[in-house]
Chains A and B, each alone.
Chain A
Amino acid sequence: MLKKLLAALSILLLLHIYGCDKGLSPISAEQKAGFSGTITFLGNWPEGITRTHLVVFQNELKSSADFNIINLKYVSLEIPYGVKTFNFNSTDSSYIPIGAGTYEYVAVAQSKKPDLSLIRSDWFVAGVYYSNGDTSKHGVLEIPENTLVRNINIVCDFNNPPPQPPGGK
């Protein structure tokens, strides 16, 4: 009987060992998938701007139909009006959090509407992320799992705005 009891306890112990991993755990900002950088604003802020957000779309905005909530993968909290530089980290609070993945369009968008509208014509793109200084095409943001991608810097030149995606005014 002792042998049988020991065999049963061995099975239990084996299961116990398999379960020794603690499962989920908190994730430090460094381990969280996300991106950070600095937004620099050049020139004078336009009058009447009520909202400025850093936004990320999964796919490039080829038509106004691409400006939809499914394609929209990140919306930062509001960027204060009139600032000259703004440091951000997507792992901080946001309207829509972002995870690991590949994102084709990263931009700073502004609106004169009081609400967080999802209508394309309510928004104006003030700056776009370009990778490696190549301003001929917008940069692609790649966020690996458990990695904070740094130096995603964007320049918003109010005197020289970037090309606007389709559907704007």
Chain B
Amino acid sequence: MMKVSILNSVPKVPVTSKVTGTLFHFCLIFFIFLFSEKIFSQTYDISGTVSDTLGNPLDAVNVILVGEDIGAASNYEGKFIINNIKPGSYQIEFSSLGYQPYSTGIQIENKSVIINAVLHEKPVETEQIIVTAGKHEQNISELPISAEVIPSKDLAERNISNLRYALEYAPGVNMVEDQVSIRGSSGYSRGAGTRVLLALDGIPFYTGDTGEIIWEIIPVTEIERVEIIKGAASSLYGSSAIGGVINVITKNMTNKSFTYFKSYAGAYDKPSYNEWDWSGVYRQFNGLTFSHSNSFGNFGFTLALTRIEDSGYKQSGFFKRYVGYFKGKYKFSSFSDLTFFANTINQRSGNFLYWKDINHAFVPPDADQGQRTMSNRYMFGLIYKNIFTDNFSINIRSSYYKTNWSDETTSHNNSTTNLYRTEIQTNNKISDNLILTSGIEGTASNVNSNIFGKPTANGFGAYSQADFKFNFPLSLSAGFRYDIDKIKTLETFDAVSPKFGLNYKLSDKIILRSSLGTGFRAPSLAEAFTSTTASGIIVRPNPNIKPEHNFTFELGVNYQALPNLNIDAAAFNNEYYDFIEPELLVDFLGVSFGQFDNISRARIQGFELDTKYNIVPDKLNLSLSYTYLWTRDLNTNKALKYRPRHIFYANIDYKISAFEFGSDFRFLSRVEEIDDLSRFITDGKERVAIYTLDLRAGYNFMTFNVPGRLFINVNNVLNYYYVELIGNMSPVRNASLSLELFF
């Protein structure tokens, strides 16, 4: 009934209208049929960006929809897009060499989806490439020696403003104040000389007068990674590499405008004991870094400026520091380029040599109150690289390092130094199995100082190293270096430093390595010519000082126990001859004085165990390392000064979503021997084992397309009081908040 009534209710229309209506319905049905797939099955896009944890865009990252035959790769801006995706649920996966894969579920309903992914570097990376061991690219698992890599993310996560603090966590490495020691190579000599060579992109970076490393000048935010070679490396690097090499690899400039901003602020806790609370307030510190990188045609550059201010947890422990860094690269062609570096630092600081006594552990002696030190240092470097053929390339590295400092002690110590260095290196791929690396290097320095005098030093070195790679899993490395040095009035000396190493892949999981090497170290100008009085301690020059030498042997094994568990073990033996150490002497008038001299025949033996365990893939990582050092002065049969017998580091990282948490634990046993300065330093013998625990928490805004990260760091959480150096309390508990932005 109803239907009839409806029909009856249809108004009458003309015939033409009927035809038109029929045609309309026909066309409607036709088009619905024609586009039915589009209408009833609309497709969408998945797009976004991929970056690393520092916000740097990652190119060539594979982006795939798991189970579908669809995917894309990110471009140089880190952007990707996958078109024509039907509505539904998918699993999208991001993967790239050297990074942990990242996957997440997505739901596409009625609009396109944007995903911004952040990839973390792989924690267990046995296929890592490093350039320090042979001065050319090598797989770390194919080296005959022990090596470590500190990635840039570790520096940011720990809010490291001075590279020395990052090295405190590297297996087998420990710091005594500002002096670095690899497997017990160094004790403490008030900054005079170093047994570990620091290099910036391969350019040696120590001062011309004291021969020390100025950690503060290293632009931490511009570091790509830090490569550490353990054991004598004089066969390639000459003097100072007697204990190892630390090579700081800086970041490449970006292809597009990239700006980085970091700011942090924090405070030191008050000491727990009223006697030690010298200021009554929470001492503060802060820092600011601005960095910009860009490229225009064949030219790219990075400029970074940093200002750090620390009011000091110790009286006279304050400093204010300005660090400048510029790196510019001009590409002549795809095969040749020229890189220019400039590093500068201006620093004003208090002078805290040692405490008044244990009851005034954060206060210097009355006579040292109010002392200041001012320093300006500049390092300019040039690196020219030319790949002539697929098999032959040349690298020329040249640098000029000027240092100028003065203090306000009673001696008014000051020094101005110029250090010039040039190295020409060739890499010759003689066959698929043989790479020959050769080079020559010349150095010249002059000093004008009231404590070192006006000495000059000149040196020349020539080296060659052959790396053989056989068709079966054996790699051999053999090389030598000849050095000749002339230091002012000292006798001219020369040294030949050969080395030999092998690496054998026993199975897919086990790699054996072994190396024999020799090293030498010329005395720094400070060790030979210092004549001063510092806080009552008289130091006299030694015109008879000679270079020291060593012979090292290492046997190591790397075991990939599980895909996510890597264990590395090494045993080592270092024999030192004419070991240079400071000693306390008495002259014929009964006056005591300090002097550097070749006093010892020394031996350092030990072993190292390093484990990296990715407990929950992509989320929970654990690193443990233990180093046992048995050091001996063979003349006195006592332990070498400032060397702990046991070093243990533990690190845990946990990441969940945009949050990350971490903890670092450090243990160093109480050093057995120190300098006998008890006559100068009240309670100078007071020292304990070192336990420190650092905690951190971070939040990465990249997940929400905001290019920034926030970190909270609490160092020395236990507020454990210890000294690394006589009468010099290490930092108390401190907390900081840091913010990084990228745009």
Contact = CB atoms under 8 A, between A and B. Distances in A.
Contacts of B272: 22
Nearest to A9: B652
B688 interface: yes
A69 B615 contact: no
B366 to A, nearest CB: 9
A15 B275 CA distance: 29
**5 closest Cβ pairs, A-B complex:** A19-B691, A69-B592, A23-B721, A118-B590, A24-B721
Contacts of B679: 69, 72-73, 96-97
B452 interface: no
Contacts of B592: 68-70
B616 A5 contact: yes
A23 B722 contact: yes
A19 B718 contact: yes
Interface in B683-698: 683, 685-688, 691-693
B640 interface: no
Contact of A18 (B590, B678, B691): B691
Given A25-B273, A118-B590, A16 B361 contact: no
- The winner among A12, A23, A32, A97 for most chain B CB atoms within 10 A is A23
B622 A24 contact: no
A12 B717 CA distance: 13
A24 B686 contact: yes
A12 B695 CA distance: 11
8 contacts: A11-B650, A19-B692, A23-B722, A69-B590, A70-B592, A97-B679, A99-B678, A118-B590
Nearest to A23: B721
Interface string B561-592: 00000000000000000000000101001111
B620 A5 contact: yes
B693 A97 contact: no
Nearest to B622: A8
Nearest to B624: A11
A12 B667 contact: no
B616 A26 contact: no
Contact of A8 (B276, B361, B620, B688): B620
A4 interface: yes
A27 B683 contact: yes
Contacts of B686: 24, 27
Chain B's interface size range is 35 or more
Contact of B665 (A19, A94, A97, A98): A19
B720 A23 contact: yes
A12 B693 CA distance: 9
Nearest to A28: B359
B586 A70 contact: yes
Contacts of A12: 650, 652, 663, 665
Given A24-B729, A27-B358, A67 B590 contact: yes
Contact of A118 (B358, B589, B663): B589
A16 B667 CA distance: 11
Given A22-B719, A69-B679, A96-B679, 10 more contacts: A4-B615, A4-B620, A5-B615, A8-B622, A15-B667, A19-B691, A26-B275, A67-B590, A118-B589, A119-B590
Contacts of B584: 70
A169 to B, nearest CB: 16
A97 B615 CA distance: 53
Interface in A53-101: 67-70, 72-73, 94, 96-99
B622 A11 contact: yes
B586 A21 contact: no
Contacts of A24: 358, 361, 686-688, 721-723, 729
A19 B722 CA distance: 12
- The winner among A12, A24, A72, A119 for most chain B CB atoms within 10 A is A24
B355 to A, nearest CB: 10
Interface in B215-249: none
A7 B589 CA distance: 64
A144 to B, nearest CB: 14
Interface in B153-179: none
A126 B680 CA distance: 26
- The winner among A8, A11, A18, A118 for most chain B CB atoms within 10 A is A8
Contacts of A27: 358-359, 683, 686
Contacts of A23: 688, 691, 720-722
Contacts of B691: 15, 18-19, 21, 23
B387 to A, nearest CB: 46
A118 B591 CA distance: 7
Contacts of B138: none
Contacts of A15: 650, 665, 667, 691, 693
- The winner among B654, B665, B681, B692 for most chain A CB atoms within 10 A is B665
Contacts of B449: none
Interface in B635-676: 650, 652, 654, 663, 665, 667
A7 B613 CA distance: 13
Nearest to A95: B679
Given A1-B616, A27-B358, A19 B693 contact: yes
B359 A4 contact: no
A69 B615 CA distance: 59
Contacts of A21: 688, 691, 720
A23 B679 CA distance: 23
Contacts of A51: none
- The winner among B652, B679, B723 for most chain A CB atoms within 10 A is B679
